[in-house]
Structure 1
Amino acid sequence: MCDHRNLVYLGSQKTEGGYNQYLKCLDCGAVLIRLPTGKTYQVGGIKSEEKVSASAQLKA
């Protein structure tokens, strides 16, 4: 599991409560969305999906 230490800032989006911040993890490809409330959501990327499929094939 990735700890998302290697991030790139993608930009922000204005909302009613402030700005959503978008960051991309260069290690796994996931996009992190940080809300003005401090809550963070993760959207999995292609790299993370490839790692999951590769580990599933190794177990088979």
Structure 2
Amino acid sequence: MNYILALIPLAVGFYTISFVVWLWTHQNKRGAVGTLMLTLITMAISFYAIFFRKGFE
């Protein structure tokens, strides 16, 4: 079940990375780097919450 839940942040991350590429090609390098950092942090927190965090027991 966790792997199915992980598909949602992966899909959002893939879409956002394509936006980062678009920003980079339109010479908005500062926006591309900021969006990339925000995406990586958000995905790391999502995967931590899905796979490593203990639930309420």
What's the TM-score, normalizing by structure 1? 0.30
Greater relative contact order structure (CA < 8 Å, 6+ sep): 2
Higher-helix-fraction structure: 2
What's the TM-score, normalizing by structure 2? 0.31
Higher-strand-fraction structure: 1
